[in-house]
Amino acid sequence: MSSSTNIVRAPGRVSDFGRFGAVLDSPIKVFALYALSLSILGVGLATLGTKYSNIDFASKYLWTEIIVTVLFVAVTVTMNEPGQIGFRRPQIGTSWRLWGPVVAVSLVGLSTALTWASLPDGASVDTTVWFRTFLTTMLVGFAEEWMYRGLLLVALTRLLGLRQGVLASAVAFGLLHALNILAGQGVGAVGSQVLLTTIFAFMFIGLVVATRSLWIAMVLHGLYDFFLFSHSILADAGANSSPVKVAGIFAIVVIAIAVLVSLVRSPEDSSTEIYPPAE
């Protein structure tokens, strides 16, 4: 069974949590950290004073993401084997689960470049907002992959098995975005975002399984969010959004559904871990 092309589950033994180290040696501690991170994000959104729809939202949210990232880093350095949740060198192969997301996110990036090129003569973009947005979105990519495709994915697959664990982690990732209602998002917009991000989760799950690492998923996730927020910043400056963005998002949805289908069809009797020990 090729580790670059198959989604596999970890043994369902709670005792395996001891390998995380003293800070995260039980499922309860894993889920407590998850709840703590949600609380920090929720408080940050509720006290930000800027609506999600504003172009400076991501820029002003930077400090909340810094706090969450510092929390995750502090926990990770105490672990016995950070590689068991994906902090390891990625395996680069020919899997469509790796190169499909690279192409899809690149399309969204291309649409950002084309949107930039459509700026009217004399139009300008606030470079401070732009740079802080980049920092925020890259930290989002780091933190969300760490939790949802790293620690939480490993914890849930160990407890529930492959299918249930992966599905639960994807739903948890989608529900994370329901917090945006605290930043003034309407119920309909939040509902659509929850659904779309739940679907997107499967693309990132396929990506970390293909590479046996979080690093590429972190970078692509951060860049994708940056490209999306960039469209809003550019549109506010008078640019015309490129339709290539729709092609990129459509590609992400297709890849995510393909991963989900392959997950459903995969054998449930495998005992290989999501991030198996290096040979």
Residue 192 lies in a domain: yes
Residue 134 lies in a domain: yes
Q: For the chain, how many structural domains are there in total?
A: 1
The answer, yes or no, to whether residue 7 has pLDDT greater than 90, is no
Higher pLDDT, 199 or 81: 199
With pLDDT > 70 as the criterion, what percentage of the chain qualifies? 91
Residue 120 is part of which domain span? 14-265
Q: Which two tokens stand for residue 148?
A: 């949802």
Q: Are 211 and 92 in contact (CB under 8 A)?
A: yes
Q: Which of 224, 234, 42 is nearest to 137 (CA)?
A: 224
Predicted confidence band of residue 276 (pLDDT cuts 50, 70, 90): confident
Residue 60 lies in a domain: yes
Q: Rounded to whole angstroms, how far apart are CA atoms 167 and 149?
A: 12
The answer, yes or no, to whether residue 15 has pLDDT greater than 80, is no
pTM, full prediction: 0.92
Residue 76 lies in a domain: yes
With pLDDT > 90 as the criterion, what percentage of the chain qualifies? 71
Q: Which of 75-79, 149-153, 246-250 has the lowest mean pLDDT?
A: 75-79
Residue 77 lies in a domain: yes
| Number of DSSP helices (H) and strands (E) in the chain, helices first | 10, 0
Residue 115 lies in a domain: yes
The pLDDT, as a whole number, for residue 4 is 42
Contacts for 35 with CB less than 8 Å, ≥ 6 apart: none
Max CA distance (Å), the chain: 63
The answer, yes or no, to whether residue 46 has pLDDT greater than 70, is yes
Residue 34 lies in a domain: yes
Mean pLDDT of the residues in the chain: 89
The pLDDT, as a whole number, for residue 278 is 62
Q: Rounded to whole angstroms, how far apart are CA atoms 68 and 78?
A: 16
